[in-house]
Amino acid sequence: MTDPCVEFALAKLDAFLTGELQLPKKVDTGIRTLRSELGTITAFLSAAHQRAVQDQQILDWVRKVQDAADDIIDILDLFDHHKAENGRALSVTRRRAYRSIADQINDIKSTLEEINKGRERYQLANSSQAALPPSPTTNRVYSHLHPRIAPLFLADADVVGFEEDRDMLMAWALDMVDEHKVMFVVGMGGSGKTTLAKQVFEAVKQDFGCSAWISVSKSKKKLEILRNMLDQLCRCSSRAETAPAPQQQSSEHYINLIREYLLDKRYVIVLDDLWADDVWRSIMLALPRRNRSRIIITTRRGDIAYSLKDGSVDVHPIQHLSLEKAKELIHRIAFPGSRICPPALATLSNEILGKCEGLPLAITEIGHLLSTKGEREPEWKKLRDSLASELTSHGRLANIAKVLILSYDDLPYHLKNCFLLMNTFPPNHPIQRTELIRLWIAEDFITEGNNGKELEDLGEEYLNELIQRNLVQVWQMDIDGRPRTCHVQNIIHEIVLSQLQDENFCEVYPDQGTFDISKERVRRISIHTGDLGQLCPNLRARALLKFGRSAPCQHSIPIGYSSLKMLRELHLEGANLDMFPADIEELLLLRYLCLRNTRIRSIPKSIGKLKHLETLDLKQTLVRTLPKEICHLSKLRYLLVYRYDIEDYVAFNTIKGFEVAGEITRSANLRKLLFVQVNKNHKIIVAMRDLRELRRLGIMGLRKEDGRILSETIQMLRNLHSLNVAAENEAGVLDMPEISHPPPLQRLYLNGRLERMPVWISELHDLVRLRLKWSQLDQQCNNPINILQDLPNLLELQLLDAYNGDQLEFNAGKFQKLKILELELLRQLKRILLGLNLLK
């Protein structure tokens, strides 16, 4: 007879084993349910963010939905990680991971049930439109009456800084060219578009048979706009006609009436504050294109304006006020009697104007507030230091926020997240285009669509739309017209900081100090100055961004595995580190790691644990070798390991690259690889042929015999856009005479002697930048100009110690687009013959 204790133990064991064996199936089922639920939640959040919800209860409920979505993403990522890491075998490690995931699935189900009860408690509709206002016209647009109306009643004498714009637009409006013309006046909110348009309209309307000023803001419906237009046009007639009384007429009815009325008339119409292109397209149908008529449209939406630009439609971008004009405006308002700033307040005045960055609305509103302070220096200091709080909805500068926040409200959901992330950077911090897009990709803000576009190309489209919507300003432009660096204007940045916190998007710590981050639910942390302090042990964050220098720290950062194990992005640019932080290897879901501008010298083998890593940014560090484990990171897209040592601009070895112990064939997703040091290892050049997605390659230390191998490799990299090649030393030869079908290179940098000028360069029709350094081409048969002069898109050409002849001739009609020509260290050169149209 079996011992009852043994039977009980066997029964427990059998139940345990049955449960363990069923565990993967249960987890798989739970994961499928969560993936489906995430799609529904994402659709709801997208709809919610398109409306500016005001009710605090609903806002809190929406935040809980967002938190649940983040938790689901964490569970899905962990599941995918453990499934890929442990395969199908039910090992001890995998069972432990599955048990943990099963517990998390149960927890999130309970959370979702509570959220659903909340929806019922607040009597919200059971749809993706739950908790949302009934239409876009019920959002924040009604609260900014004063800032929108005031520009219509300004006297000309009170307007500062638009003299040139006004004269240009008046000349355009009164031009006797016999054609219909449209002018979009484009600028960010508060830039003076309405003020300028009103000045021009009042000055020229007497020269037209009829005129109308029409508000087309977001609160207006198309039928209302068309009806208003017909009323105004009829009233301006000498016969004082009356528009037909409304009888539930359609838009088509009013379009026909307006068109018939204007058919034989010369008119000028201003459409103020356009937000949607379909509104303009409807109005356009009502306007006959004849009789030298003029239409002026003010809008923040540069993306709409530039998409419609053609022969009869032009765009006039509004520039912010210069410092001198900004001073004139604020002094007029703050000191209405003398209009002169006392010397004791000059510095404070300039500091405040620095935050305004020439934005007329900000200068005007702050000026009015300062006018109540008199000339009391302590009051001016207090306002300077409290601008951020004054810009909130309850502050005395709320009018500024009410106007500017409309541009954020108008963004589609995916662009809102992209824009919010830009505001986690410090103010006045130039944000690199490429760095920003890498962060967006790591955050999944950019996802692949059905159009087959690369994530990087989509990211550039997103950034360009934010720029054209006048929410982001270009700081530095590249030679080909793409933004190299950009930033968010100070005033908008201050306003959006509160938005970051309200939406629990990010906790930003802008001031010097040590921070005690005690909140558990923080999606992102951004520290502008100071050190990382004590973090909450249960903190769950997706990103930690640290900017600027801090006090020297040890070989780890204060992150325990249990606190920030869910990090996707870790940005520690400029941190005072001299060794790779040991805790990083435990961040299993990490996608983005930036340690640039640190003193780190080596990367441990444990980097191979970061299976999801997409970006490894080690620019301006002391790292010179990478372990072979780096080659096993199959998701890696950007491997950036190099340092500029620019003591002498014309020195050969200003760039220091890296050596890698293994072959990079497994990193087939690589898009950027900079800068690989070959050092007699030609196998690494051959291995690069499998990097078919590579867009930018920097390779150094080439011997003459490596040239032909590299040429064959380059020919196979059909997506390559930028190539930087350097010989092993200044006297080294780059032997790359033949590439029968070169990739569509846009940038080419060749550093080293060229025994022959590569003829294949003449086939690079997309090339915009070419730099030849230390080429030492001879005059007889290697004049580079003969091969380069017909490149149709070349914008920049640099020749540094690249030619040993005594004459260079640039023929007329060649180099059609060249903007920059740099000729340096051409020691034998005596004559340069320039064609008349060169560098025009």
Q: Is the pLDDT of residue 214 over 60?
A: yes
Task: State the pLDDT confidence band at 20, using cuts at 50, 70 and 90.
Answer: very low
Task: State the pLDDT confidence band at 472, using cuts at 50, 70 and 90.
Answer: very high
> pLDDT, tens digit, for every residue of 551-566?
555 445 555 545 577 8
H/E run at residue 46:
helix 4-50
Task: State the pLDDT confidence band at 531, using cuts at 50, 70 and 90.
Answer: low
pLDDT of residue 131: 43
483-487 and 431-432 beta bridge pairing:
antiparallel
| Torsional sign, CA 41, 42, 45, 50 | negative
pLDDT of residue 549: 65
pLDDT of residue 136: 36
DSSP 246: P
| Mean pLDDT across the chain | 83
d(CA 775, CA 191): 50
Token reading at 232: 């105004």
The β-bridge partners of 639 are 616, 673
pLDDT of residue 251: 84
Least confident of 524-533, 678-687, 825-834: 524-533
> pLDDT, tens digit, for every residue of 255-309?
999 999 999 899 999 999 999 988 998 899 999 987 889 999 999 999 999 999 9
pLDDT of residue 14: 46
The residue written with tokens 């970051």 in the block is 500
Q: Is the pLDDT of residue 535 over 90?
A: no
Q: Is the pLDDT of residue 231 over 80?
A: yes
Query: Which has the higher per-residue pLDDT, 356 or 247?
Result: 356
Secondary structure, 3-state, 513-554? CECCECCCECCEEEECCCECCCECCCCECCEEEECCCCCCCC
How many CB atoms sit inside 10 A of residue 121's CB? 10
Cβ-count burial of 212 within 10 angstroms (0-12 exposed, 13-18 middle, 19+ buried)?
A: buried
> pLDDT, tens digit, for every residue of 620-679?
999 999 998 898 898 999 999 999 887 666 788 889 999 987 677 677 899 999 999 998
DSSP 320: P
Least confident of 98-107, 339-348, 436-445, 792-801: 98-107
pLDDT of residue 49: 66
DSSP 247: S
pLDDT of residue 134: 40
Task: State the pLDDT confidence band at 536, using cuts at 50, 70 and 90.
Answer: low
pLDDT of residue 52: 54
Q: Is the pLDDT of residue 1 over 80?
A: no
pLDDT of residue 735: 92
Q: Is the pLDDT of residue 513 over 70?
A: no
> pLDDT, tens digit, for every residue of 588-623?
899 999 999 999 999 999 999 999 999 999 999 999
Task: State the pLDDT confidence band at 449, using cuts at 50, 70 and 90.
Answer: low
As a whole number of angstroms, the longest Cα–Cα distance in the chain is: 116
Least confident of 148-157, 347-356, 521-530, 691-700: 148-157
Side chain identity at residue 207, one-letter code: D
Task: State the pLDDT confidence band at 586, using cuts at 50, 70 and 90.
Answer: confident
Model's pTM, two decimal places? 0.87
> pLDDT, tens digit, for every residue of 754-790?
998 999 999 999 999 999 999 999 877 678 898 999 9
pLDDT of residue 661: 76
pLDDT of residue 236: 74
pLDDT of residue 116: 77
> pLDDT, tens digit, for every residue of 36-87?
888 888 777 777 766 655 566 677 777 788 888 888 888 888 887 777 665 5
Q: What percent of the chain has pLDDT over 70?
A: 82
> pLDDT, tens digit, for every residue of 182-213?
999 999 999 999 999 999 999 999 999 899 99
Tell me the chain's radius of gyration from C-alpha atoms: 32
Q: Is the pLDDT of residue 4 over 70?
A: no
- Are 599 and 590 spatial neighbours (Cβ–Cβ below 8 Å)? no
Q: DSSP labels for 620-651?
A: TS---EE-GGGGG-TT--EEE--EE--SSTT-
In the predicted model, what is the mean pLDDT of residues 535-545? 73
> pLDDT, tens digit, for every residue of 400-416?
999 999 999 899 988 99
d(CA 571, CA 526): 9
* Length reported for the chain: 840
The residue written with tokens 């009789």 in the block is 291
Query: Which has the higher per-residue pLDDT, 153 or 331?
Result: 331
Q: Highest mean pLDDT range out of 112-121, 165-174, 673-682?
A: 165-174
Q: Is the pLDDT of residue 124 over 60?
A: no
d(CA 93, CA 97): 6
In the predicted model, what is the mean pLDDT of residues 519-527? 79
Query: Which has the higher per-residue pLDDT, 835 or 633?
Result: 633
d(CA 744, CA 556): 43
Q: Which residues of 637-665 are buried (b: 16+ CB within 10 A; e: fewer)?
A: bbbbbbbeeeeeeeebeebbbbbbebbbe
Q: Which residues of 88-112 are buried (b: 16+ CB within 10 A; e: fewer)?
A: eeeeeebeebbeebeebbeebeebb
pLDDT of residue 548: 73
pLDDT of residue 582: 84
